Amino acid sequence: MLNFILLQAETGNPQGAAGWSFWVMMILIFVVFYFFMIRPQQKRQKEIQKQREALSKGDKVITAGGIYGIIKEKQDNTFLIEVAKDMVIKVDAGSVYASAEDAAQATKQQN
């Protein structure tokens, strides 16, 4: 398919209109991808980052691996999470999310 498009762009009409329309279509495709795929993903990432920064001692969290726990200590790039009585694990901050229950309560309080 791409070969056909490139071939048409090269052998288009002599005035160069085929080359012009090809680039316009490519730019339009990029714009559509940006607004429907890239930009929303960036917004979600910023929101998740804000939630992580707002986490503090005593908050319920879930790790990317599916482990539920309570934050005992917040360090620079890691959290110490209590997963059971007297059992604390150290996890990377990038793999910690606010638990669904806490997120729902926070949303209700904001509205």
The tens digit of pLDDT for each residue in 43-59 reads 988 988 888 888 889 88
Residues 25 and 32: their CA atoms lie apart, in Å, by 11
pTM above 0.85, yes or no: no
Could you state, in order of their start, the residue ranges of all structural domains in the chain? 2-50, 56-110
The pLDDT of residue 69: 92
Residues 96 and 78: their CA atoms lie apart, in Å, by 9
- Angle of helix 17-33 relative to helix 2-10, nearest 10 degrees, comes to 140
User: 57 — phi, psi (to 5°)?
Assistant: -60, 130
Report whether 66 contacts 83 (CB < 8 A): no
8 or 66, greater pLDDT: 66
Query: In CATH, what class is 56-110?
Result: mainly beta
